[in-house]
Chains A and B, each alone.
Chain A
Amino acid sequence: MSLPKFSYLAPDTLEEACRLLAAHQGKIKIKAGGTDLLVRMSARAFKPDYVLALGKVAGLDHITFDPRTGLRLGAMAKLADVVDHPAVREHYPMLARAAKATATVQIRNMGTVMGNICNASPSADNIPTLMVREASVIALAATGEREIPLAEFFLGPGKTALQPTEIATEIRVPVPEAGSGVSYQKISPRSKVDIAAVNVAAFLLLDGERRCRQARLCLGAVGPTPLRAPRTEDFLVGKELRPEVLEEAGELAAGEATPISDVRASKEYRRLMVAILTKRALVEAHNQALHH
């Protein structure tokens, strides 16, 4: 199907972008890479009168790392650039893995990490790793900007905490603590190039005795939004990652998931995969932490 008719707005500055957004509230959609938006518009899932393209705004595609403040990804930073960025690969290898697990080469060359986040799909590849790294999103409006922790960002499928007048301009990821590690695990029916049926990210911060000082988990595609697993996380704190601890963590996480059955998997399979992927993610995060 062809795209419905709309006006294409391509401002040069964020100020102008915020102004246009405010002026056309409710009738406008923001476009970064467009790989989700345009497909949905073609399918008539969205029928905006205006599309606000951020491509012409200078300095929105930055990927910068500062050892004191951490990683910053601009709204227009493309998935492919995140995959290949040396600082991302060095300090946040699982962000690179998640970006690379997103869709196909063609989509990664167009699509952005921010777009993947703002699309707010429960199965999004880039959310879980950012979530367990306690990343946040900078939201800019004509009236000022605010920082929204990712943990508070997702309200439901396709729904975010962004106000209709706000543009998400930047993702901020804290500096990785020494002794911490992350893992991203994903399973999908077609294997290599596919949307996740279930994905899991784990973060572990170990103490000197190799016990979990902090643990964070994010479970994707098993609830209306990517889910944290607080009971499992609490359970892990203070424990060594022995086989029986892993087993129980997997089962606890599976219990915290709220999957449904759909064309991609049954809820029983999803729940079992949460357990399996959680265990795998914890083991890998543990290994990462030991080497960090």
Chain B
Amino acid sequence: MSKNFSVVGQSLPRADARIKAVGAAQYADDIILPGMLYGKLLRSPVAHARILNIDVSQAKKLPGVKCVITGDDTLKIKFGNWRLVPESQDEYPLAVDKVRFIGDEVAAVAAIDKDIAEEALSLIKVEYEELPGVFSVEEAMAEGAPVIHELNPNNISLQRKIDYGDLDKAFAECDLILDNEFKVHAVSHAYMEPCACVAEYDHNGRLTVWTSTQTPYFVQCLLAKTLGMRENDIRVIKPFVGGGFGGKMELRKWEFCAAFMARQTGRPVKFTLTRAEELATGRRRHPMSIRSKVGFKKDGTLVAKEFTAYLDGGAYNSMGPTAAFLCGNFGGMLYRYPNYRYNGYHVYTNKPPAGAMRGFGAPQALFVAETQMNMAAEQLGIDPLDIRLKNAMETGDEIPGVATISSCGFKESLLKVAEMTNWREKRRQLGKGKGIGIGCYSFISGGVFNWFNTQYNFTRAEVRAFDDGTVHLLTMASDIGQGCDTVLRQILAEELGLKMEDIRLTAADTAVTPQADLGTWGSRVTLMAGNAVRKAAQEIKDQLYKVVSLKFDLNVIHDLDCRDGMVFAKNRPDRGIPFGEAVRLAQRANRGEPIIGYGSYTPRGKGLVTPAFSFGAQVAEVTVDMETGAITVDEMNTAHDCGTPINPMSVEGQLEGSVHMGLGYALCEQFIMKGGKTLTATFLDYKIPCAEDMPPGKSVHVETYEPDGPFGAKEAGEGLVSPTAPAIADAVYHATGYRCTELPITPEKILRGLGKL
């Protein structure tokens, strides 16, 4: 392992910093095309109903309206990301026969302006036969509950299991068994850019869609399926995207409707969602009802765990099947659980569907797991830090049948964060309104799973080299604000010895960039696309090394390198030429053929979950007003292992964002609903922490070297959304004696818990 990097490990400014700072970055909603129409969706006002009739005649007559469609106009093809299990694909592009939540898309309008489109919606008459609805997993699973999808008469759309060891025997040998129930709630991605897309249909019968997405390839494939078109006739382009967090990784109804109506009218069609639509109907993190039974020896050794989660999936599967699996996976991570059983049930309810969201099952599982570690520590009279150190996973550990931990800095993270926060002393001394608490996490660096059932490699890169010393990197990896356009350039610059400005980048355009890339989710991009870029660079180097060897008549034993713009013999740096010169010679030597390198990456031999796991520990310090229950998070400190941080400044940004999102999850963000109706559909009442609420805190990278990561890198930032809630909950317990088992932790719950209300 060489740590002598020149570009990797540098806190370089983002490639997109300037264009965003000056306001010149074009997002999907900024795109205006000649003759463009504006689309709007008619959404169901009822939570569960049969559609008896839809009358669009008045809407069609409104001057300025160019297209009105309902489910009947479409091919009525169901779709979903889980192509591997076709029966899991449970959504139509527009409602057919039934609506299943308030906000379910029923019809769409395209008109010459937004106001007319809006007015046209009010002219569409839909006759509903209302059906009783279910709004919690408990209601949905009750005997005789209304059935939401005919295929699943018990409203359980799927079950995921993990099972290893001998649970019954193990529990019999435990000195302490905790058996607790928990409830965790839904929260919104609340990305800064509400979803938008523009679709254009050309005279050759081909479609171009600019859309705010994390997964252009998924959109391309699922549009082809639902529109009855060929994949290659559809071009999906990702413009600048203002955040996704898992909320933009499926084909969405408005993408379909824009494409469909563009084809129908011959005019471009744009959809832009309002924030109210996003909050009231958008994807969200799964609420869950969880029961967790965990057993320890007297000395704190973990022996067994039985973990059961009921995921409130809302009206459709969305990414629920993956969340259901990952929740169980993370329930058994972080510590050595020799005996573990997980049962996860994905349950339909008449609520907006939950989907993928930062952490993807981990925040729920780890809130429960970390809270129980803290409960057990107390009952066994062990410091929460020590019970963790005793059970922590280490490099080389195996999760039976799932994965091997190829690098792990968990113990180092625990010790580091304890040192940073003066943990032991504060844990002993604080109390009476002041508390300190701990939470930890592990996360994946991309998934091994192929539920999308792609026939391509998971990611691919193409690098073209030029004799002026520049290269062009083409990749379908999607920068949605997380910074992969910068990080992939850094990886390529390191590999080829070039400067950042020497690299031109074209990304995320399905007609131009190499097939395929599964998109930005599950913290997969740095590791997977990074490895593909390295391999493509290697192909370039192989071609250049030949001509440099020839030019200097190098002994075959010489190693060559690319660095500082030169290609040279490592031990004889004088025997080298500039990168561009090497490209020119290589082209001449090959009768004009361009110098191109390709690289692909698909995890192989990496088990069932991920090529690499990251780890970390976080400590929260809080003050609780014992009269009002108001919580102030005074400090939030983190130590984590993300392998080699390719761009430490970017990692810092991810961590701060994680704390912000974790804070909202822990304390104040929630969808308050009544009979399927969202009562907190504006930022006035859907309370995201503001800048002033952000606690100070430091973060330290515990560096490990991940053998499967590019230059040793792995996941950073997504996993860290998990420890914040359990750390704050533990600090609140330490401060007040109130132990939260039902998020979010509100002032009212604290006062009720303490018997003051």
Contacts and interface: CB of A to CB of B under 8 A. Distances in A.
Interface residues of B, number: 28
Nearest to B694: A192
A272 interface: yes
Contacts of A268: 757
B751 A191 contact: no
Nearest to A192: B692
B154 interface: no
Contacts of B627: 276
A230 to B, nearest CB: 25
Contacts of A43: 276
Interface stretch (B413-421, B512-520, B679-687): B679-687
A273 interface: yes
Sort chain A's interface into a size bin: 20 to 34
B301 interface: no
A2 B693 CA distance: 30
A263 B114 CA distance: 31
A189 interface: yes
A196 to B, nearest CB: 12
B625 to A, nearest CB: 9
A83 to B, nearest CB: 15
A91 B115 CA distance: 49
Interface in A200-254: none
Contacts of B628: 187, 273, 276
Given A192-B693, A263-B679, A263-B685, A272 B630 contact: no
A1 B118 contact: yes
Interface string B667-707: 11000100000011000110101101100000000000000
B690 A269 contact: no
A273 B748 CA distance: 10
Contacts of B274: 1
Contacts of A272: 751, 756-757
A147 interface: no
A187 B632 CA distance: 12
Interface centre among A190, A193, A195 (most CB of B within 10 A): A190
Contact of A266 (B685, B692, B748): B748
Nearest to B690: A193
Contacts of A265: 748
B748 A191 contact: no
B685 A264 contact: yes
Contacts of A104: 690
Contacts of A269: 747-748, 751, 757
Nearest to B682: A43
Contact of B746 (A2, A189, A194, A195): A189
Nearest to B670: A263
Contact of B276 (A1, A5, A273): A1
B680 A189 contact: no
Given A195-B684, A273-B628, A190 B748 contact: no
A43 B118 CA distance: 12
A176 B425 CA distance: 49
Interface string B469-511: 0000000000000000000000000000000000000000000
A203 B274 CA distance: 44
B693 A189 contact: no
A284 to B, nearest CB: 14
B668 A2 contact: no
B79 to A, nearest CB: 29
Nearest to B688: A190
Contacts of B689: 190
A2 B757 contact: no
A191 B695 CA distance: 12
A191 B118 contact: no
B672 A189 contact: no
Given A1-B118, A263-B672, A187 B748 contact: no
Contact of A189 (B115, B687, B692, B751): B687
A191 B664 CA distance: 12
A263 B748 contact: no
A9 to B, nearest CB: 21
Interface in B553-588: none
Nearest to A197: B747
Contacts of A190: 667-668, 687, 689-690, 693
Contacts of A5: 115
B333 to A, nearest CB: 32
A268 B757 CA distance: 7
Contacts of B668: 189-190
Contacts of B114: 2
Contacts of A263: 672, 679-680, 685
Interface in A266-291: 266, 268-269, 272-273, 276
A262 to B, nearest CB: 8
A191 B746 CA distance: 11
A189 B118 contact: no
A43 B682 CA distance: 11
A194 B276 contact: no
A192 B689 CA distance: 9
A104 B688 CA distance: 13
Nearest to A193: B690
B677 to A, nearest CB: 12
6 contacts: A190-B667, A190-B687, A194-B687, A195-B684, A266-B748, A273-B628
Interface of B: 114-115, 118, 274, 276, 627-628, 630-632, 667-668, 672, 679-680, 684-685, 687, 689-690, 692-693, 746-748, 751, 756-757
Given A1-B274, A43-B276, 9 more contacts: A187-B628, A191-B693, A193-B693, A263-B672, A263-B685, A265-B748, A269-B757, A272-B757, A276-B628
Which 8 pairs show the lowest CB-CB distances between chains A and B?
Answer: A193-B690, A192-B692, A190-B687, A263-B672, A269-B748, A276-B627, A190-B668, A263-B679
